[in-house]
Copies of this chain bind each other. A is one copy, B any other.
Amino acid sequence: MPDEPFTITAAAPLIRSGELTPSELLEQCLRRVDVYEPHVKAWVYLDRERARRDAAKLTDEVKTNYRGPLHGIPIGVKDIIDVFDMPTGCGSKLWANSYARRDATVVDRLRQAGAIILGKTVTTPYAFTDPPVTRNPWNLGRTPGGSSSGSAAAVACGMCLGALGTQTGGSLIRPASYCGVCSLKPTWGLVSVNGVLPLAQSLDHVGVMANCVRDLALVFQTITGVAADGKFYLGSGSMPVDCVAPATDIADDQPDFTPLGGLFLEGTQDVMAAYDRTVATLIGGELRHEARYRMPSEFADIHRHHRTIMAIEAATYHRERLDSRPDEYPTNIGQLIRDGWQYTAADYRRAELYRDSLQEITRRLLAGSFFLTPATTDLPPGLESTGDPRFNSPWSFLHTPTISLPSGFSPDGLPMAIQLVGAFMLDEDLIGAAAWAERCLNIRHRLPPVPA
């Protein structure tokens, strides 16, 4: 198993040259499913036979119609995103057998690019913070994070080489970081949410998890842009799906970081010490510790306003259903919805105005550079929680793109990660900066230990 590729970047040239067929790559992934899945529980639906049929077709097609770097790559899809004729369970009991009648726009884009949709990955109920069945592959007693829990765990174990997830607070960056994989939350609006269960529409982002930064770029360039069905969104960034060229060119120069911004509170001692070491590796001793936690005072209320908008928008969608089917809602999401119903229109408007003003301040702070922060405030806690999203939710609120990547392991073997924050719409620059950081840190990727 060690020599088998678990990045798209490694697998794609082998598939193109014929050294590895899509069917062989799929079987490698399925063997990892056999090994890890009984313990990790990353998948809610996995269709081996359909995947094998797709892989066989794509194997035939390589020579005559190579579709690009995602040709024959097994991908997992978070279970709030529609995949044709698979259920979209959304972590709900009642919806567990609700079969989608069409692909979400992002899934359609992946298929056109030749990806194999392996199945649906576990989400927390309705993509909020109630704990999932999935376990952290690095320590089965710890949470994988949420809400894109299964996507993170599946990619970490190489059961698929990339996965789609979503983030409304910290639902991509947090689980990716807890599980030791990379994640991209794009600029809000750059990726279609058509066919995706809403949690809070002005905060919801579809994003990517994978095992290296270049892989994030390969999937991102496929799912962003205007869809063929015309059902899209705002924003630009359209890149042709049939693009066979390498992903986004990645600059070699050191980008200009503002590492000390972007912190709204202190992480645990372990996390902050590791962060300091990482910053030192990346950009030498130029730390300005005295400013480390000092975001401008205007940011003080950001978590409160994020929660206000999330609660109101979640209640707008879910409230009536919570009334008629209370058993379908576990504690945290139920409380969010009930809270959301209590707010006034003025509360919502105030939170929107607050966001407007902070977006303007962030634009000025970030001009030409990036924030560099720990990806999470803590190491993955136990299974009763999905962890703390407070380093991530501000950027969901402000719509700026973020990337997380592994920065090493804690003394007891748990993954740690950093988060880079880029300016609104400058996702490609952010990918370049993250790739640079990845090269500097030079963390050797490995699969989690095989469970006993």
Kindly state whether residue A95 has any CB partner on chain B within 8 Å: yes
For residue A94, CB closer than 8 A to chain B, the reply is yes
Interface flags for A24-51 (1: CB within 8 Å of B; 0: not) read 0000000000000000000000000110
A45-61 CB contact bits vs B (8 Å, 1 = yes)?
00001100100000000
Measured CA separation A179–B87 after assembly (Å):
36
Distance between A442 CB and nearest chain B CB, rounded to angstroms: 44
Q: Are B85 and A101 in contact (CB under 8 A)?
A: no
Q: Report the nearest B residue to A101, measured CB to CB.
A: B197
Is A98 an interface residue when CB atoms closer than 8 A count as contact? yes
A50 CB contact (under 8 Å) in B84, B85, B197, B324: B324
The size bracket of the interface on A is 20 to 34
* A100 / chain B contacts, CB cutoff of 8 Å: 98
A410 at the interface (CB under 8 A from B): no
Contacting A94 at CB < 8 Å: which of B50, B88, B99, B321?
A: B99
The reply on A238 being an interface residue by CB < 8 A is no
Please name all residues of chain B whose beta carbon is closer than 8 Å to the beta carbon of A357 when the two chains form the complex.
none
Q: Which of A99, A100, A231 has the most CB of B within 10 A?
A: A99
3 tightest A-B contacts by CB?
A: A98-B98, A97-B97, A98-B99
Chain B residue contacts of A49, Cβ below 8 A: 324
Number of copies of chain A assembled together: 2
Contact partners of A53 in chain B: CB under 8 A: 324
Main secondary structure of the interface of A (DSSP, over half): mixed
Shortest distance from the beta carbon of A105 to any chain B beta carbon, whole Å: 13
- Closest approach, in angstroms, between the C-beta of A119 and any C-beta of chain B? 14
Give the one of A50, A95, A101, A321 with max B CB within 10 A: A101
Contact bitstring A114-134, B, C-beta under 8 A = 1, else 0: 000000000000000000000
Partner of A101, one of B50, B84, B88, B324: B88
Q: Which residues A189-247 have CB closer than 8 A to chain B?
A: 197, 231
A–B Cβ pairs within 8 angstroms, 7 of them: A49-B324, A50-B324, A97-B97, A98-B99, A98-B100, A98-B101, A231-B231
In A72-105, the 8 Å CB interface with B consists of 84-85, 87-88, 90, 94-95, 97-101
CA distance in complex: A100, B95 (Å): 9
The smallest beta-carbon distance between A78 and chain B, in angstroms, is 14
Distance in Å from the Cβ of A114 to the closest Cβ of chain B? 16
Give bound CA distance, A101 to B377, whole Å. Answer: 34
* A318 → B minimal CB distance (Å): 10
The interface residues of chain B lying within 8 Å CB-to-CB of A95 are 99, 101
A275–B87 alpha-carbon span in the complex (Å):
49
Residues of B within 8 A of A98 (CB): 87, 97-101
Report the minimal beta-carbon distance from A126 to chain B, rounded to whole angstroms: 10
A88 to B98, CA, bound (A): 9
How close is A205's CB to chain B, nearest CB, in angstroms? 18
Contact of A321 among B85, B197, B321 (CB under 8 A): B85
Q: Which residues of chain B are near A85, meaning CB under 8 Å?
A: 321, 324-325
Q: Which chain B positions have C-beta within 8 A of A87?
A: 98
